Structures are given as C-alpha cells and as structure tokens.
Amino acid sequence: MDIDILTLFPSFFEGPFSTTMVGRALSKGLATVNVSDIRDYAEDKHKSVDDAPYGGGPGMVLKPGPLVRAIQSVRRDDSYVIYLSPQGKTLNSTICEELSQNHKHIVLICGHYEGIDERVVDLEVDAEISIGDYVMTHGGPAAVVLVDSVLRFVPGVLGHDNSAYEDSFHIDSIFDTPKYTRPKTYQGMDVPEVLLNGHHEKIRMWGEEQVLKKLKKNRPDLIRE
C-alpha cells in the first residue's frame, strides 16, 4: 500500500513514521509513506497557500489552486483521496480494514487554519474522515492515526497477522480481554487465578465477564441487548 500525505508541515511526520511498528513496516517495504509540502505548489512569489474566507468569519482558508496541484502531482489511476476533517465520517476499525483491503494508493489531505476551499472536496475528494468529535489545529495528527490504524491490517506489519482481527472492535465481544504479564504479583495485586490454570473454556468465560464490566464502565453505548 502506498500513502501520500499532503500537508503544510512535512517535518511533523519525521518522528511518527521513523519508529514503532509503522517505521519497521516502512523500512521493510511493506508500505510507503510519502509526505509533500502543499506550499511547494503555490505559484506566487510569496508562496501563499491561504486567503480570507468569502462571506466573512475568522481565520484563513487553504486556497484551491496549490492544493489541487499538490493532489494532481501524486494522483494515480488507483488513488483514493481522503480529506481529514472534523466533519467527516468517524474513523473506525471497519473503515481501517476496508481502506487497507480496497485501496493500493491513498492520498491524505491535511487541512489547516479554518480548513480547505470546499471546491477541492467537490473536485478531488473521495471521502472525508474524522478521527473524533473534536477539533485540532491541523490534520497531521489525524493522518498519523489513520496511517497507523490502517497499516495494522496490511499483512506482515504486525508480528502476528491475526492480531489486528483479535483486538478490540474486531471480535464478537467488541473489546479485547484484559491482559496480564509477569510478575505474578505486583504491588500486592495478583494475576487472576483463572489465567494460571490453562482451562480455556473458563478463561473464555472470565474474559467475557471482564469485557462486559469494562463496556458498562467506559462504553455503555456499545452494549447490545
């Protein structure tokens, strides 16, 4: 899978993609991430990429010209262009899996200021995706979240290819079960006895109870009757 990120802050991505499993996947050639500076596609001598909004209001808007040229410079026949926007569909595990399976080339547009000229969305964008109901100052963090969560579904990226399908939101019980590792006792707290006896059915039933407890506490909206 190839990913192109269009941004005003290319250096923002130096850290996130040079370490972790994503960094390892990129260095192994399992995927590519290419970052382009939208400002390189400005045509005036000041390299301006933004202007005041028509109709008034605070802040600036990314102009269509430089952004469309940036998109077209990376576009291929098989590109799927995503604008990262708080007004998009909320990213979830199903979208991540579909993106990893259905698209060989993804272009991510990171907005800034008050966002991008709407005509870019109409002309060039296949999907608008949000990472949650809150607003950040630019699309960079959203691009990092999307790249990391989509690449987990690319074969070879995780140590075990099944892992992505056994994690929360991809298993019947919605959440993954609580995990414990050595030491057996930590600050006076023992690992649950059931995990030590190797009885798979009892471990499964214990896991279901724990998941339900966590759902009730943190995400009651996800409990199906």
Ligand X SMILES: C[S@@+](CC[C@H](N)C(=O)[O-])C[C@H]1O[C@@H](n2cnc3c(N)ncnc32)[C@H](O)[C@@H]1O
Q: Which residues are catalytic?
A: 86, 114, 152, 167
Coil, strand or helix at 24: helix
Instruction: Choose one: 73-81, 134-142, 168-176, 186-194; the region binding ligand X (CB under 6 A).
Output: 134-142
Name the nearest CA neighbour of 30 among 142, 147, 155, 153: 155
Which residues, numbered 45-64, are part of the site for ligand X (CB under 6 A)?
A: none
Token pair of 198, please?
A: 């190797």
One character per residue 104-123, x = contact with ligand X (rule: CB under 6 A): ------xxx-xxx-------
> Shortest Cβ distance from residue 223 to ligand X (Å)?
25
Pick the closer one to ligand X by CB: 19 or 137.
Answer: 137
Which residues, numbered 65-104, are part of the site for ligand X (CB under 6 A)?
A: 84-87
Pick the closer one to ligand X by CB: 8 or 157.
Answer: 8
Q: Rounded CA gap, 28 and 99, in Å? A: 20
Q: How many CA atoms lie within 13 A of 88 on its CB side?
A: 29
Residue of 70, 107, 142, 151 that binds ligand X (CB under 6 A): 142
Tell me whether the omega of the peptide bond preceding residue 16 falls within 30 degrees of 0, making it cis: no
Backbone φ/ψ region at 61: left (φ over 0), alpha (ψ -120 to 50), beta? beta
> Shortest Cβ distance from residue 91 to ligand X (Å)?
8
Residue of 19, 56, 77, 134 that binds ligand X (CB under 6 A): 134
Pick the closer one to ligand X by CB: 61 or 211.
Answer: 61
Beta bridge partners of 61: 51
> Shortest Cβ distance from residue 156 to ligand X (Å)?
28
Tell me whether the omega of the peptide bond preceding residue 183 falls within 30 degrees of 0, making it cis: yes
Q: How many CA atoms lie within 13 A of 167 on its CB side?
A: 13
Which chain residues interact with ligand X by CB under 6 A? 84-87, 110-112, 114-116, 130-132, 134-139, 142
